[in-house]
Amino acid sequence: MPVWICTAHFYLSDIAEDLCPTYIIPGSHKSGRKPDRGEETWNGHSPEPVLCKAGDVLFFRSEIWHSGGRNTTTDRSRYLLQVHYSHRNIAQKFSPWPWEFNPEIIATASERQLRLLGKHPE
């Protein structure tokens, strides 16, 4: 199966079960569909928390069934940087479409920054 979209979570916090871990259902990317409402398992697999340390990276194809957990702590927040990667023909098709950046920001951006924001030939 081709990978059209994938995601990297760069964790800035240590993640334990009480600090809203990302849950994934192993193998669910092979289902070929999104989960039905209320569906919480796939092919005998239940959601598993991704527990990690600050500095770890979770890289996954976006078709895998995933969700965020609950923060049951009273004094901590989960911090992460989320980066999405996609096949070239998907790059300019995320909603809302058409998307326009703030012209003042675009006017000050370098060519490299513009390319990272999506400036490339149609």
Rounded to 10 degrees, what is the CA torsion of 2, 85, 90, 119? -140
Q: What is the pLDDT along the chain (122 residues), one digit of tens a residue?
A: 778 889 999 999 999 999 999 999 999 999 999 999 999 999 999 999 999 999 999 999 989 999 989 999 999 999 999 988 887 666 554 445 566 788 898 899 998 888 777 777 66
Which of 10, 2, 4 lies closest to 91 in space, CA to CA?
4
Given the DSSP bridges, would you call strands 22-24 and 48-50 parallel, antiparallel or unpaired?
A: antiparallel
User: So what's the pLDDT on residue 23?
Assistant: 95
Q: Enter the pTM of the model.
A: 0.72
Integer Cα distance of 91 and 60 in angstroms: 18
Integer Cα distance of 40 and 112 in angstroms: 42
Q: 91 is written with which tokens?
A: 């790059």
User: So what's the pLDDT on residue 94?
Assistant: 46
